[in-house]
Amino acid sequence: MAFINIVDLSFSYEGSSDMVFEHVSFRMDTDWKLGFTGRNGRGKTTFMRLLLDSARREADRKYEYSGTITAPVGFEYFPYEVMERERFTVEIAEELLPGSTDPGEIWKIFKEFASLELGEDVLYRPFSTLSHGEQTKVLLALCFLRENKFLLIDEPTNHLDMRARELLGEYLKKKSGFLLISHDRRLLDTCTDHTLSINKTNIEIQKGNFSSWWENKKRRDAFELAENEKLKKDIGRLKAAARQSREWADQVEATKIGHKNLEKFATTKCIDTRAYIGEKSRRMQMRRKNLERRQERAIEEKSELLKNLEEIQDLKLFPMEYRTNQLVEFRDVSIGYGEKTVAGGIRFQICRGDRIALAGRNGCGKSSVIKLLLSCLEPPVEGVFQEADRTEMTYSGTIYTGSQLVVSYVPQDAGFLKGTLSDYAEEKGVDLELLILLLRKLDFSRKQLEKNMEDFSEGQKKKVLLAASLAAKAHLYIWDEPLNYIDVFSRMQMEALILKYKPTLIFVEHDREFMERIATKTLDFGCFTNWRPSAE
């Protein structure tokens, strides 16, 4: 058993007044399978960067932080940055693991590849020709083969299909000594035994996977809310009692000298009267001060509560009702790029109230269906195709789209976002105040809203796309992997929103929990003629 110790860590980016971490202390066992969770923009990736930086010589460090990070092992970051991606994969393996491709050692790589359902031929192909899923698996396998390393895994599931995510979960379940940033609840439950969470005011570690952490958090939040209500009532009573005591004390104090109320004490000596009234006033003042001290303690106790309460606020959606039941129909559609057909025999309808999930392996044509649908609308949605896609994509079959159909689209990639939110709202034709309100409910701080979008985290950029879609009135919502980089709390918000407003929706999403909760129909690209109804 060995520990990575973080003591009194504080950090902020140069030129920023916002503290990312402030006087944080905890420790991690190097044998734990740690899940890492928290809202977008809280500093999960930043923390991994600081861990990596701590292993460098002080003169070579990229970040200035206070406090100490000590570890008995080195750190390895995933995804590993591959330079010159046209190289063969075997060259990258040799770069990461010198000597590992020698005839007597290469079996170790093949063994790891087999665990991830990778063929041996992958090693002898140019890295750039591998699919995104294959690249992820190759780099993860090579990183785990490095000895005496604690692996920092940063969101490995983005763009991975469900089967690849399940395989990744089973693979990580057999490993130990890693810190995994992921917002996929099923993956975290499968392969982690401890949970590290970045809260509003601190970082904490609990034993157990995501579900056990989430149940503990809900119980704690419920307890603190109940305690908060009791304390609010106590403070109200104390305020009323203190106010009454103050009034009584002031009245008694006023009778000490030269007040008309002294007439009722005329039968006693004046000095005795003043002494009596003085003692009575002193006691009343003491009572008032005691009540005020009790009130201050109650307020202090109340301030300790609700610090880490994550408010999952209700979002709003503005779906429009289309005049006919059927909005879209694909009849025996085939899609290809150049001479290659990526999907054929596609048949489905989108009717009012449908929430259709497109399911299947990466590369089976799900996103191509969405792009083709968007290009067939009148008018077509702009910015859907890359230039190469526009010239190479072909299709056959019949596609019907309703006239004057209004759609709201969320693309996979948010990297194009630049400039201010105001400029983006004007470009998209959405109400800026509504866009900001939605982002506030998605956990954007006021300071974050003032930044340019290129400075947002990947999750925050995706939230901008989602918020713009929610702010638009539409008959049909078309979302292509909307949850990439989005934190768990916001995923729950989106689930609640969709189940409440029941928009007509067609989407691609590999988060199984999300898909199973909201889809009314699933279009499996392995069998286009079969619908699988989902529970409402």
Contact at 8 Å (CB) between 464 and 453?
Answer: yes
- State how far the Cα of 330 lies from the Cα of 377, in Å rounded to an integer: 13
Decide: helix, strand or coil at residue 267: coil
Distance (Å, whole) CA 328 – CA 401: 5
Residue ranges in 18-105 assigned as alpha helix (H) = 44-54, 89-96
Closest by CA position to 185, among listed 513, 473, 469 = 513
Superfamily of domain 3-208: P-loop containing nucleotide triphosphate hydrolases (3.40.50.300)
464: left (phi over 0), alpha (psi -120 to 50) or beta: alpha
C-alpha–C-alpha distance, residues 76 and 58, integer Å:
18
Question: How many beta carbons lie within 10 A of that of residue 299, not counting itself?
Answer: 14
Highest mean pLDDT among 69-83, 151-165, 180-194, 438-452: 180-194
Select from 210, 52, 72, 213 the least CA-distant residue to 143: 52
Residue among 177, 82, 221 nearest 138 (CA): 82
Q: What is the pLDDT of residues 105-161, one digit of tens each?
A: 999 999 999 999 999 999 999 998 888 888 889 999 999 998 889 999 999 987 788
Residue 144: what pLDDT? 92
In terms of Cα–Cα distance, which of 23, 25, 22 is closest to 5?
25
Q: What is the pLDDT of residue 202?
A: 83
Asked if the model's pLDDT at residue 15 lies above 80, the reply is: no
Q: Radius of gyration of the chain from Cα atoms?
A: 31
pLDDT given for residue 265 in this prediction: 47
pLDDT of residue 226: 80
**In a 3-state reduction of DSSP, which class is residue 482?**
coil
Q: Which two tokens mark 131?
A: 């699919």
Distance CA 102, CA 88 (A): 15
Predicted local confidence at residue 530, as pLDDT: 41
Q: Cβ–Cβ contacts within 10 Å for residue 533, how many? A: 9
- Calculate the average pLDDT of the chain: 84
CATH-assigned architecture of domain 326-533? 3-Layer(aba) Sandwich (3.40)
């304390």: which residue's tokens? 231
DSSP string, 433-470: HHHHHHHHHTT--HHHHTS-GGGS-HHHHHHHHHHHHH
- The helix (H) or strand (E) run that includes residue 154 is strand 149-154
pLDDT in tens, 268-317: 445 556 666 666 666 666 766 666 666 566 555 555 555 666 777 888 89
Condensed to tens digits (0 to 9), the pLDDT of residues 217-269 reads 889 888 877 877 776 666 666 566 656 666 666 665 566 555 545 455 444 44
